[in-house]
Amino acid sequence: MRCERCGWPVDEAPVLSTHSTSQGWVRYRRCVCGTLSIQLVTPGGSSGTVAAPAAGSAGTR
């Protein structure tokens, strides 16, 4: 998976925090360009971006 803004690999972005949920874990990452991504990581090991920053939020142009 890559950052929607700059194309950097999301898996290489630093993890800000991880929180458990009923479906697995929610992981917050900050890309090198400043974009925040939120991923859902399931017990089976799959992950995906659940949300991208809204227009006008920190880290967007």
- Taking residues 36-51, what's their average pLDDT? 77
Q: Dihedral of CA 40/2/10/4: which sign?
A: negative
Q: Is 8 helix (H, G, I), strand (E, B) or coil?
A: coil
Burial class (CB in 10 A: 0-12, 13-18, 19+), 39: buried
Are 47 and 39 spatial neighbours (Cβ–Cβ below 8 Å)?
Answer: yes
Q: How far apart are CA 15 and CA 37, in angstroms?
A: 10
Average pLDDT across the chain, whole number: 80
Q: Is the pLDDT of residue 56 over 70?
A: no
pTM score:
0.67
